[in-house]
Structure 1
Amino acid sequence: MSTAISRAPAGTGLPRRRWGLLRERDFRLLWIGETTSGFGSSLTSVALPLVAVTTLGASTLEVALLAAAAWIPWVIIGLPAGAWIDRLPRRPVMLACDAASLLLFLSVPAAAWAGALTIGQLLAVALLAGTCKVFFQTAYQVYLPAVVAPADLPEGNARLQGAESAVQVAGPGAAGVIAQVLGAVTGLLADAATFLVSALCLLGIRTREAPPARERRATTLRREIGEGLRFVARDPYLRVLTVFGAASNLGLMGYQAILVVFLVRDVGLTPGVAGGLMAAMSLGGVAGAAGAAHLCRRFGSARAMIACEMLGAPFGLLIPLANPGGGLALAVAGGFVVVAGVVAGNVIKASFRQTYTPRRLMGRVSVSMQFVNYGTIPLGALLGGALGGAIGTRASMWIIMAGLALTGLILLAGPLKRRRDLPSSPAPDSSPASPSVPAAGASASAPDAPSLP
């Protein structure tokens, strides 16, 4: 775990300092690095398909394949990555991923300026960068509790998710402006630079995590992977959240994979306007992250999560109404509410998973859930691309958004509907973990104050 972290202990009644965790040097560095990197990733989510559409004349299916390629690594290496992360020190893994991603995104402008850029290279960059993200994100989720005290995990997750949502507002708009003025390829240079900032911030963190337990290295990788899968499959809360996440991500990526094509080709927007509209939709994430804590305190964490997920998604049916007139406002409003619900739900779920899961299983449990959750993302992207090519992007939007609106019903299939708050630890007989291993942290049901996906 971390070295001594100076703050008012949970439950003492002492007032928290102004700005909370942002006054903590190590968390502030982690927050700055992740916020900067998130801004770059937000740029890329728009710049990469814009490069494909405007520079290479890619088809709707090819643009969807780009989105799928970034997530396929979760299906291929997601499970062993979780076991490896539980064996390795996390910060060196994260630094290696930053360095590799920096080089990958620099290769696109270099190839474009040399006149050698192809769809094949964009697919390769998306695939390899996605591989780096598997290791980075898994390590990051396990690393956060080493920097932040257990009682402060809800605040830490809320601040990180809030910053991520804020840069998702700025990123698409910036990508659109850069594409309009300098060309879409130039936007990828900014993304490459953000990985350098992230690496420098990681190097500046002083807290050192405890080394992984040596005795675990005597077990086989297959056994460790199986332990994480069994924990998720047998736990009634994690199991329902995993199934819901898989269904929800299928719809979310289905519409996101064709959104740029829809706005540019069907609605007739310029890249700059399309980026601005996507930025306005992303403002919902800021509202969702900021309001998650209040909703948990007012209604309870379990009820707040169900409400956010079930009530937000149906507003996505406003997005296919987009047109150059008043329909743009309806589309923005619909996207705003969808994103707000997703981010608020993710804030609550992330804090719950980090406090509920035994520390020794955290990497494997996180990646077991993500293996299923993120495994449907490439399928969603391919579904969106195939439907868009067959029946058009607007009709595809209607179908995908109707399906997304129904996914929240999955949350009513488990014990969540009977609870006000999420539990702080598993029942002794509900998991294969040793009963002597405590849950990592305090309850997420009463946070001081999110996963998309």
Structure 2
Amino acid sequence: MPTVAPRRRLINDPGFVRLWTAETISHFGSSFSHLAMPIVAIQLLNAGPMEIALINLADFLPFLVFGLLIGALVDRLPRRGVLIVGDLGRALLLLTLPISYALGILSIPQLVIVGLLLGTLTVFFDVAYQAYLPSLIPKEDLVEGNSKLEISRSAAGLLGPSLAGALIAAVKAPAAVVIDAISYVFSALFIFSIKPQHESVAEQNDAAAPAAHTPRASLRSDITAGLRYVFGHPALRTIGGATATSNLFGSIAGTVELLFAYNVLGLSVALIGFASTLGSAGGLLSAVLADRISKKIGVGRTIVLTIPLGGPMLVVLAFCQPGNDLLNALVIGAASLPRLHRAPCTTSTR
């Protein structure tokens, strides 16, 4: 009787481990940059609400505007190359900030442009690593592999802001940005070290799915298909509109919160990072509770009932007074409202 070879654990798969390590470093870097960019603007350039709003918008805009285009482009590009270029590009962009500061030419427009390009490369990286995974591991291991990658994403969102705040407080913003840039270089090196033989699984997956070998549609067709699916699906169309509105005003609130915490309450950067971590922890708790609540009252009712809670939670910030730093950090963290959206896997890259 023929014997079935035991499946190798993913933790022992060198190709997957290198991708996982690179993805973890990259997500921590993105989480770090999300806090570091506005802090650099406030500390070094005395940025006000309008400037911080522009920097936050530059960070968020690529996901909204370029997501469909980038998803279609990644389908046509070597994904390993996209990952490496994404990491090295972000490292170079970040290094321009401390160099400009040392030369005395750092400005708000530069921060906005760098933030926009960072966000764009982050979208490229996030789309590419999800598409690259099936070329490294067997199809039956994809669920486990994606779970491990999502653990890293959650850990970065949870711990990244606190680590960023502590590092900025310890070595000052320009040096912290240099360290962030170096982290992206290490991520690129891990991806570069993935050998061609590690990608041989792609042939097995392709053989198991011959339907995938269909004539490639045009770039415009791919983008149009993604838009048609989203706007043609009543639930996705409604959730997309609600999410966009919530994110828009949430970004405005986040801008005010940061300036309020730093300029009015006098919180240290470390405590601001701690408050952001509390908000991320609330996101993990919300994910657990949302599943239980939605099973009882339905997904639609859960969304309708929870989205409006973000507004009243911000009211408590008005009662914060300077001098109670830890309490103020706890209140700011509690006022953060996590948001979650999802799309079918068949159109996730677009």
Length-normalised TM-score, structure 1 = 0.62
CA contact (8 A) 2:275 2:330 kept: no
CA contact (8 A) 2:97 2:174 kept: yes
1:113-124 to 2 correspondences below 5 Å: 113-124=102-113
Residue 27 of structure 1: aligned partner: 16
Cα-to-partner distance string for 1:81-121 (whole Å, 9 max, x where unaligned):
22222222222112111111111111111121222212222
Residue 100 of structure 2: aligned partner: 111
Residue 70 of structure 2: aligned partner: 81
Counterparts of 1:309 and 1:152, CA distance in 2:
36
Higher helix share: 2
Q: CA deviation at 1:187?
A: 1.7
Counterparts of 1:288 and 1:201, CA distance in 2:
33
Residue 57 of structure 1: aligned partner: 46
The alignment status of 1:317 with 2:312, answered yes or no, reads yes
Counterparts of 1:318 and 1:274, CA distance in 2:
18
Q: CA deviation at 1:61?
A: 0.5
CA contact (8 A) 1:145 1:153 kept: yes
Q: CA deviation at 1:313?
A: 6.2
Residue 233 of structure 1: aligned partner: 231
Q: CA deviation at 1:50?
A: 1.0
Q: CA deviation at 1:204?
A: 3.6
User: After the TM superposition, which segments of 4 or more aligned residues of structure 1 sit over 6 Å from their partners?
Assistant: none
Change in 2 beyond 3 A, CA 1:75/1:180: closer
Aligned-pair identity in percent equals 32
Counterparts of 1:48 and 1:223, CA distance in 2:
36
Counterparts of 2:316 and 2:252, CA distance in 1:
17
The alignment status of 1:42 with 2:42, answered yes or no, reads no
Counterpart secondary structure, 1:71: helix
Q: What is the aligned length?
A: 329
Change in 2 beyond 3 A, CA 1:90/1:183: same
Counterparts of 2:306 and 2:151, CA distance in 1:
20
Change in 2 beyond 3 A, CA 1:114/1:241: same
Moved more, 149-158 or 107-116: 149-158
Change in 2 beyond 3 A, CA 1:320/1:163: farther
Residue 132 of structure 1: aligned partner: 121
Counterpart secondary structure, 1:87: coil
Name the amino acid aligned to 1:366. T
Counterparts of 2:301 and 2:153, CA distance in 1:
22
CA contact (8 A) 2:26 2:87 kept: no
Two-structure CA RMSD over aligned residues (Å): 3.5
Counterpart secondary structure, 1:366: coil
Change in 2 beyond 3 A, CA 1:318/1:77: closer
The alignment status of 1:207 with 2:231, answered yes or no, reads no
Change in 2 beyond 3 A, CA 1:318/1:288: closer
Counterparts of 2:234 and 2:255, CA distance in 1:
32
Q: CA deviation at 1:332?
A: 2.7
Pick from 278, 281, 298 the counterpart of residue 283 of structure 1: 281
Q: CA deviation at 1:331?
A: 3.4
Name the amino acid aligned to 2:246. S
Counterparts of 1:202 and 1:247, CA distance in 2:
36
Q: CA deviation at 1:151?
A: 6.0
Change in 2 beyond 3 A, CA 1:333/1:186: same
Counterpart secondary structure, 2:178: helix
1:246-265 to 2 correspondences below 5 Å: 246-265=244-263
Counterparts of 2:24 and 2:294, CA distance in 1:
29
Counterparts of 1:23 and 1:237, CA distance in 2:
41
CA contact (8 A) 2:41 2:52 kept: yes
Unaligned runs of 5+ in 1: 9-16, 368-453
Counterparts of 1:215 and 1:126, CA distance in 2:
37
CA contact (8 A) 2:168 2:270 kept: yes
Length-normalised TM-score, structure 2 = 0.79
